[in-house]
Amino acid sequence: MGLEEGSDSGVRAEDIKLAMKGGVREGYKFNPLSPLSERDPGYNPTPSPDDRVHILVCVFSANSAEIKGSVLQKMKAIRETASDLAIPQMAIVTNIDAACAEIEKDLKNVYMSKHLKKKMTDFSSAVGIPMNCICPVKNYSQEIQINDEVDSLIVSALRLIIDFGDDFIDNMQTSPAGQ
């Protein structure tokens, strides 16, 4: 379940915002028809720092059609809440080879593709995540052997996630209120 269009499908933006603050217990099943409330057993009234989200990662496919405006608005609202909470944000764009023949032919062309750059720039503009926080990756889909070029992009994205998360934890521990 993701951020599908419409209020009767996907996770509600309000529930994601509450989860970022640590207000959702582990294992809670999100309900698109009913927001999480203080009376719900899935609600966590006293979140610890460990319950909070340490990094927000948006994942979208370079091969999919344009993301609908309403979904982009949800993503932007969630990202803005993350900013208010000092939570770092990044995005991973997947299926880059399926979206661009130039990249499919040679993965080293990933940063030279005008098509991919436009997809990433459009997403950055719509949601507000800076370009240097958007990581392109190729999915393993047909390969039966590991590939260093594919792994390099994946490891770069994971390294950024870990670094951002570590920085958030360090800042949380050194700030006066732990916020």
Query: What are the residue boundaries of the structural domains of the chain, listed by start?
Result: 1-47, 53-174
pLDDT at position 9 is: 65
Q: How confident is the model at residue 31 (pLDDT cuts 50, 70, 90)?
A: confident
Residue 171 has pLDDT above 80, yes or no: yes
CA nearest neighbour of 123 among 144, 145, 94:
94
| Residue 25 in tokens | 């217990």
Query: pTM of the prediction?
Result: 0.86
